[in-house]
Amino acid sequence: MDRADLPRQLAAEALGTGLLVATVVGSGIMAARLAGGNTAIALLGNTIATGAILVVLITILGPVSGAHFNPAVSLVMALRKALAWNRLAPYAAAQIAGGCAGALLANAMFDLPVMQLATTARGGAGQWIGEIAATFSLIGAILGAVRFAPQSVPMIVGLTITAAYWFTSSTSFANPAVTVARALSDSFSGIAPASVPAFILAQIAGALAGLSVWGWLFGHKPAK
């Protein structure tokens, strides 16, 4: 990556993560309001919107920054030498800042207090295992798509998250930046701040396990 492009790349990561979180939180609020108390319908609405925006954001921003929108993904890319180590911290900072801005935007759009903290506690062995599985699956989808179907990365990642909303006990946060941001909205998609550290540890564990297993399986060749 050209050093001169770093500001543009960081802007893309911040904007992409912000729009992703705004979609996750905003669609969660909208779905909960329209579902009449039916949690399954609310989750379905939340799922469709999230999977759809991922396809769009990865398609339009992938050529600019790689469209990670996720510190766990950036970590994996750094370990694979696809992202310079000195860019990992700026990428993660941009993703977290953008994600937090997206949560505040969603709060404002739905006439909620802009600054708030979530009260929904999420935790326990089942949900932590769910986060490991979700992030492991996400890394597998990314590495497999990059290796065998690069033109299909946006669709494959969007479909993976769509599926993981339903097959994991945690509804697939799978992203430290999104997890931190969702703590800033006391809504359908929120997570209490006290629940955040364990989720992030599970996500990092899932990402590293994914790098090891999928990287070996796909026979990664280091970037030249």
What are the residue ranges spanned by the domains of the chain? Answer: 3-218
Tokens 């990556």 sit at which residue? 1
Fold of 3-218: Glycerol uptake facilitator protein (1.20.1080)
What residue ranges of the chain have pLDDT lower than 70?
1-4, 220-224
Percent of the chain having pLDDT more than 90? 96
Per-residue confidence (pLDDT) for residue 219, from 0 to 100? 84
CA distance 138 to 78: 16
Contact 128, 202 (CB under 8 A): yes
User: HSE (CB half, 13 Å, CA atoms) of 159?
Assistant: 9
pTM of the model: 0.94
pLDDT in tens, 82-135: 999 999 999 999 999 999 999 999 999 999 999 999 999 999 999 999 999 999
Contact 26, 109 (CB under 8 A): yes
In the numeric block, which tokens belong to residue 17? 């993560």
Contact 177, 93 (CB under 8 A): no
Contact 206, 174 (CB under 8 A): yes
Question: What is the SS3 assignment for 98?
Answer: helix
Sign of the CA dihedral with 96 first, then 216, 171, and 28 last:
positive
Question: What is the SS3 assignment for 116?
Answer: coil
Q: Within 10 A of 216 (CB to CB), how many other CB atoms are there?
A: 9
Per-residue confidence (pLDDT) for residue 224, from 0 to 100? 42
Per-residue confidence (pLDDT) for residue 191, from 0 to 100? 98
Identity of residue 116 = Q
Question: What is the SS3 assignment for 36?
Answer: coil
